[in-house]
Amino acid sequence: MNFRKGKNHETPEINLIPFIDVLLVILIFLMVTTTYSKYSELQITLPTAIAENVPERVQELTVTVDATGNIAINNETVRYENPEQLASELRKRVVETANEKEPVVVVSADGDARHQNIINVLEAARLAGLDRLTFATVKPE
């Protein structure tokens, strides 16, 4: 028995109004809670430089470390026993130059040198009282 004879069946449709209401509430929530400032940036003032001024040549003390661990100070090979011994060699080289200004220790290390050998040179420079250190590098081609 068919009791609905003659009635048209309505096609079901999706009501989008509640869906749009929920999306608007989520959008408002995101707009209110989002911060637009960047906290990770550092506020710095960069120094200015004048190209005409040539900096004076500083005294350099070159310490070279090769891949096998040999150490040379100003192209003179020294035997490494411990940091104290290397510090005394560095002090001796500083006294030989007899300049009023503290020299800059330039560490030229082979790319395959062990890290411990470089740390030993840095420790010796600290023990010798040499605080101005830098590393020599080359520009990649």
pLDDT digit string, tens, across residues 78-103: 888 899 999 999 988 888 766 667 88
Instruction: Indicate the number of domains in the chain.
Output: 1
Q: Is 111 exposed, middle or buried (0-12, 13-18, 19+ CB in 10 A)?
A: exposed
Q: How far is CA 112 from CA 11, 22, 69, in A?
A: 77, 61, 10
User: What's the pLDDT at 41?
Assistant: 45
Does residue 83 lie within any of the structural domains? yes
User: What's the pLDDT at 123?
Assistant: 94
Does residue 104 lie within any of the structural domains? yes
Q: Is the pLDDT of residue 44 over 70?
A: no
Residues 118-136, mean pLDDT to the nearest whole number:
90
| Spatial contact of 68 and 25, defined as CB atoms under 8 Å apart | no
User: What's the pLDDT at 86?
Assistant: 92
| pLDDT-wise least confident of 32-36, 80-84, 118-122 | 32-36
Does residue 78 lie within any of the structural domains? yes
Does residue 111 lie within any of the structural domains? yes
Backbone angles phi and psi of 131, in degrees to 5: -95, -15
Which residues, listed in sequence order, are joined to residue 62 by a DSSP beta bridge? Answer: 106
Q: Per residue in 6-24, pLDDT tens? A: 666 777 788 899 999 999 9
Q: Which domain holds residue 126?
A: 60-135
Residues 95-120, mean pLDDT to the nearest whole number:
82
Does residue 84 lie within any of the structural domains? yes
Nearest 5°: CA angle at 130, between 60 and 51? 45
- Its pTM stands at 0.57
Distance CA 63, CA 126 (A): 14
Distance CA 112, CA 69 (A): 10
Q: Per residue in 56-79, pLDDT tens? A: 666 888 888 888 888 888 888 888
CATH number of the domain where residue 66 is located: 3.30.420.270
Does residue 1 lie within any of the structural domains? no
User: What's the pLDDT at 43?
Assistant: 47
Does residue 35 lie within any of the structural domains? no
Does residue 93 lie within any of the structural domains? yes
71-73 and 76-78 beta bridge pairing? antiparallel
Could you give the 3-state DSSP secondary structure of residue 40?
coil
Confidence band, pLDDT 50/70/90 cuts, at residue 126: very high
